[in-house]
Structure 1
Amino acid sequence: MKIINIFSLLFVCLICKAQTEKNVDHQSLLWTRYYNQLTLDNKWSIHSEFDNRIFINLVEENLYEMRIQGRYKINKDIEIGAGYAYFSVATQVPETTYDFRIPENRGQQDITWKQEHGKVTVNQRFQVEERFFHNADKIGLLPGTTFYWRFRYRLQGEYSFWKKESQYLKAIVYDELMINGGKNVVKNTFDQNRIYAAFQYGVNKNIALELGYLNSFQQRASGVDYFDRDIIRFTFYHKINLNKKK
């Protein structure tokens, strides 16, 4: 019932947003990511990632982030996870830069479930985040933090072109909605929508490469200002298996 209420609220927000005059800032970015999956046994694994994001038109740093989470497989289709992420934001607008960075500390919990239909895999994820932003103005950091909830739902499809031994090639597409929550959210309950398409190539059983395009349409705190971001994303996946099979 809570999930239904959340998405009903999102629908209302989208209608209101469509009726409001928008100031849209178009940006181009490059995201590069290293993603490590450390398998402990048949149920438990530790996932970590390092992500750097830069603007392309005016070459400026956007942010970098580090994330770690523990994941547990309930069965072959359902998996849960919980972890922590640290973000260091340089600027959200490349024309405006500062000599300081704004930290964000974030907790996260999620549940994912998948269904396989031949060469097609459907993957759904519902994620909750607790976001703590360090207070700041245009001069520097201020004492204290500001807290927001964020709720994310992602529907993802994968299509396997071919798979041979430890190599494979597949296409990935997804749509993800994000909603802000908490008393500090005033005008931007709708956070953003992300649409992604990519190809992933498995080099061997331990390494995979992914290249894709992501469009992020994000509402800012004012309620009338938006980011429309065209993003090229490259990911290096690295698996390490500590599970000793007898």
Structure 2
Amino acid sequence: MRFYYFLLSILLTSATVIAQSEKNIDHQSILWTRYYNQLLLNEKWSLHSEFDNRLFIKPLQENLYVIRIQGRYKINDHLEAGAGFAYFSVDTQVPEISNNFTIPEYRGQQDITWKLNVNKVILMQRFQLEERFIHNANIEELLPGSTFFWRFRYRLQGDYTFWKTEKHLLKAVVSDELMFNFGKKIIKNTFDQNRIYAAIHYGLNTNLAFELGYLNSFQRRSNGIDFFNRDIVRFSIFHKIKISKKI
């Protein structure tokens, strides 16, 4: 319970600072598409990979693409842990400004996820830590070296199953995720962003599923004053591959 009070106090403090600051809010529309693969090695271990492309809609402009890979271990029916690596290639964060180069980011990530089944509802909490190495750049070119900082993410998610058969599934997904930066380079933008997400998830069979949702991302920019308010449509394909028939 103390942890929830701690999160609430940080959120309220961030909201107060945001409200008192003179800021510009840049509204953007983005389409996220991703392919998420789960390679099930056995009952405990799995290898997850993800390919994600993000595209500004107005004006039409590439935002970034992501490649992630992580190993996951099922501790018990309620706890799961994971660790992995992600590569980001960022074209631009402002669609009106298009560079002739991309900015790479290399990111380590570790998480622990707690899950609880309550009838047709699955509640999940994910605690994730990231080590971010972003290549230095100005408006003209990449510069030597990279900037390192940490980011902590907490996500609370609820899945409600409308109906489920042996092979098919239809459920609603709702989540809220808070992100905070910390490290020597973080001065003005400790609060990074808040993501609110709602989606419909359809399982075509036990190995293939589709998800369509809306995500609102309210993110503080690196100057610590201005913000992105992003309306995001997200389409996902989930694909499970079982190595053993016993799984």
TM-score, with normalisation over the residues of structure 1? 0.96
Change (3 A) 1:43 1:156: same
Structure 2: how far apart are the matches of 1:29 and 1:79?
31
CA deviations over 1:6-59 (Å, ceiling 9, x no partner): 764443222211211220000000000000000000100000000000000100
In the other structure, the counterpart of 1:220 is: 221
The percent of aligned pairs where both chains have the same amino acid is 64
Counterpart in the other structure of 2:168: 167
In 1, the alpha carbon distance for the partners of 2:12 and 2:75 equals 32
Give the equivalent residue in structure 2 for 1:137.
138
RMSD (Å) for aligned C-alpha atoms: 1.5
Find the residue that maps to 1:13 and give its secondary structure.
helix
Count of matched residue pairs: 246
Letter in 1 for 2:125: Q
- Distance apart, 1:145 and its partner CA: 0.5
Q: Where do 4+ consecutive residues of structure 1 move more than 3 Å?
A: 1-11
Shift of 1:2: 8.5
Q: Is the 8 A contact 1:106 1:129 kept in 2?
A: yes
Q: Is the 8 A contact 1:186 1:221 kept in 2?
A: no
* Paired residues of 1:42 and 1:243 also in contact (CA < 8 A): no
8 A contact 1:36–1:49 mirrored in 2: yes
The letter for the 2-side match of 1:96 is: I
CA deviation after TM superposition for structure 1 residue 243, in Å: 2.4
> 1:120 is matched by which residue type in structure 2?
V
Q: How does 1:17-36 map to 2 (within 5 A)?
A: 17-36=18-37
Check whether the contact 1:10–1:179 (CA below 8 A) recurs between aligned residues.
Answer: no
User: What whole-Å deviation, never above 9, does each CA across 1:83-141 have from its counterpart, x for those lacking one?
Assistant: 00000000000000000000000000000011111011111100000000000001110
The residue correspondences of 1:192-231 to structure 2 (distance < 5 A) are 192-231=193-232
Cα distance in 1 for partners of 2:30, 2:7 equals: 30
- 1:39-188 to structure 2, matched below 5 A, reads 39-188=40-189
Residue 92 of structure 1 aligns to a residue in which SS?
Answer: coil
Match of 1:37 in 2: 38
Letter in 1 for 2:216: N
User: Secondary structure of the equivalent of 2:15?
Assistant: helix
What is the alpha-carbon distance in structure 1 between the residues aligned to residue 192 and residue 110 of structure 2?
Answer: 18
Residue deviations 1:145-171 (CA, integer Å, cap 9, x gap): 000100000000010000011101000
Q: Distance in 2 between matches of 1:155 and 1:44?
A: 23
Report the residue type matching 2:222 in the other structure. Answer: A
Letter in 2 for 1:49: E
* 8 Å contact from structure 1 (residues 14, 190) kept in 2: no
In structure 1, C-alpha distance between the alignment counterparts of 2:117 and 2:67, rounded to whole Å: 31
Q: Cα distance, 1:180 vs. partner?
A: 0.5
Q: Distance in 1 between matches of 2:202 and 2:195?
A: 22
